Structure 1
Amino acid sequence: MNLRLTDDETEALRRRAEQEGRSMQDVARTAIGEYVSDRPARLRAAIDRVRTEDAELLARLAR
């Protein structure tokens, strides 16, 4: 598989990899793994749970 990135995407990936002391490939693979995981579904479920369980508190804080 070949992944073609724009110059801006490549530079952003390079900067992130340097900041983290990791390879560009490792950073990209981690990002892809998170994207295809069920993390977004787990996050939505957690947000819904907080919204439901703490509805009264959230309403008071909104005032």
Structure 2
Amino acid sequence: MAMTLRLTDDETEALRRKAAEEGRSMQDVARAAINRYTTDEDAQFRTMVASIVDRDRELLDRLAQ
């Protein structure tokens, strides 16, 4: 499905820079960002980190001292 996405000048420039850095098209970068947002990979990562912190709480406390 096609759609039109209206970005501010600053958003367009940031997207252009990121695409150039990665050697990808602006469309590919935008689609990857949408995919990350909609699959909420960040939440999955935070959940994994929280479980590791819980599991290793004693060790982390000792290391902090």
TM-score range normalised by the length of the shorter chain: 0.7 to 0.9
Q: Distance in 2 between matches of 1:44 and 1:19?
A: 27
How many pairs align?
Answer: 63
The runs of 5 or more residues in structure 2 that have no matched partner are none
**After the TM superposition, which residues 3-22 of structure 1 pair with which residues of structure 2 at under 5 Å, given as runs?**
3-22=5-24
- Return the TM-score normalized by structure 1: 0.88
How far has the Cα of 1:38 moved from its partner? 3.6
Report what 1:47 is aligned to. 49
Structure 1 residues 37-46 or 16-25, which shifts more? Answer: 37-46
Letter in 1 for 2:46: R
Q: CA RMSD in A?
A: 1.1
Show structure 1 runs of 4+ deviating over 6 A.
none
Identity %: 60
Amino acid at match of 1:31: A
Show the counterpart of 2:32.
Answer: 30
1:25 maps to amino acid: Q
Q: Structure 1 unaligned runs (5+)?
A: none
Given the two structures, how large is their TM-score scaled by the length of structure 2?
A: 0.86
Q: CA deviation at 1:4?
A: 0.7
Aligned-partner residue type, residue 53 of structure 1: R
